[in-house]
Structure 1
Amino acid sequence: MSAQILLLRGINVGGHGKLPMADLRAMLDDLGAGGAKTHLQSGNAVCPTPINPGDLADRIEAVHGFRRDIIALTAEDWRKRIATNPFPTGLPKTLHGYFHDDAAIDTAPMEAPRDPTEALSSHPGVLWLHTPNGFGTSKLASKIERLAGEPMTARNWNTIAAITTLIDNLGLHQILCQPRDIPAQNAYILRK
């Protein structure tokens, strides 16, 4: 069994990209995900059986009339990415992971709008932003994707922890310790 984490970008944000999670779960089941679990209304899913994210994007477009980027990760890659977090997790809404493709992002263009209290840490597949004075008031947070120059999808530490719990509750953490035959491709981003 090979778990898959799906992070859909721009779902149910500001009245745009409306996708009920019951619809997402039904689509995932139809595509063979076998009992996928979702968290919140922002397009987070954990699938016990991997699906083709392109098929999901096609289905969402056919049914709901919009297409979004989807980041698909194995449970192992998810854990590797979140293990790179160098910041404290005690105030989880002030810590965000911006998930993207596997290249580390150059943070130099982000220095000008960065508040002196904020910190960045770039790693392959994830860019961490710590905003101790609040994410909603951060000038950098509103510009970070444009400055990065590539699509990303942000999740705060509460959501990251909840997704990790979903993986554990599905019993998927065991796959990390068992030999398995999975595709060489650990992660990719499906672009519009």
Structure 2
Amino acid sequence: MTTTRYGALLRGINVGGSRKVPMAALRDVLTGLGHRDVATYLQSGNAVFTDTGGADETTLAASLVDAIHETFGFPVECLVRDAAHLRAVVDECPFPAADLQGKQLHVTYYSATVAPERFAGIDRKAFLPEEFRLGDRVLYLYAPDGIGRSKLAETLSRPRTTKGLVATTRNWNTVVKMAELTRG
């Protein structure tokens, strides 16, 4: 029996008092889907689990999306990534993460590979010292004053860069923690 550790990244829950998904209930949903060793991190839709069924990330995400909709009555976009991918995101960071605060570095996870052409119209020099780099189904964003004040983050989230994709962003502390939690 093959077992694989995964991280689930839910998009847009528990923000501003709407789309409430209690983490205990999310753990119950994942357990109900037959996953083991389920744990959640923070209240923003981060979960880890072990799957023994051999399903791929897309299938696991789709079943979680369906179960959340059935349980809570509203749709929630979700990405599932295996432990190796989550670890690679940390290991391949193009910025000096060890020298930065967690609020200065963010990763946007995408549902598919993103072509650099989507970002061709962005004048990178106009946003300095903010910067971004693409990785494997991720975008790394360095925003020295945090994402809340980032003009580059606002530009990167526009429909022309995200059209047709599920995208969800986490700060560096969460990125690292999710990789650690899936190491199991």
TM-score range relative to shorter protein = 0.7 to 0.9
Structure 1 residues 82 and 12, CA gap change in structure 2 (3 angstroms): same
* CA positional deviation for 1:61: 1.1
Matches within 5 A, 1:112-131: 115-131=127-143
CA root-mean-square deviation? 2.0
Q: Tell me the equivalent position of 1:137.
A: 149
Q: Tell me the equivalent position of 1:102.
A: 112
3-state SS of 2:4 partner? coil
Q: Tell me the equivalent position of 2:172.
A: 157
Count how many residue pairs are aligned between Structure 1 and Structure 2.
169
Matching of residue 82 in structure 1 with residue 90 in structure 2 = yes
* CA positional deviation for 1:84: 2.2
Structure 1 residues 19 and 109, CA gap change in structure 2 (3 angstroms): farther
Greater shift, 91-100 or 138-147, is seen at 138-147
3-state SS of 1:6 partner? strand
Q: Is 1:101–1:124's contact at 8 Å kept on the other side of the alignment?
A: no
1:55 pairs, out of 50, 60, 63, with: 63
Q: Distance in 1 between matches of 2:139 and 2:11?
A: 15
Q: Is 2:90–2:179's contact at 8 Å kept on the other side of the alignment?
A: no
Matching of residue 69 in structure 1 with residue 95 in structure 2 = no
Q: Tell me the equivalent position of 1:187.
A: none
Find runs of 4+ consecutive structure 1 residues off by over 4 angstroms: none
Matches within 5 A, 1:36-51: 36-49=38-51
More helix by share: 2
Q: TM-score, normalising length from structure 1?
A: 0.80
* CA positional deviation for 1:91: 1.0
Q: TM-score, normalising length from structure 2?
A: 0.83
Q: Is 1:28–1:36's contact at 8 Å kept on the other side of the alignment?
A: yes
Structure 1 residues 144 and 114, CA gap change in structure 2 (3 angstroms): farther
Q: Tell me the equivalent position of 1:174.
A: none
Q: Is 1:114–1:139's contact at 8 Å kept on the other side of the alignment?
A: no
Q: Which runs of 5+ in 1 are unaligned?
A: 172-192
Q: Which runs of 5+ in 2 are unaligned?
A: none
Q: Deviations over 1:141-179 (max 9, x none)?
A: 2332224123310010110111122123xx2xxxxxxxx
Q: Is 1:11–1:42's contact at 8 Å kept on the other side of the alignment?
A: yes
* CA positional deviation for 1:102: 3.5
Q: Distance in 2 between matches of 1:62 and 1:111?
A: 43
Greater shift, 34-43 or 82-91, is seen at 82-91
3-state SS of 1:35 partner? strand
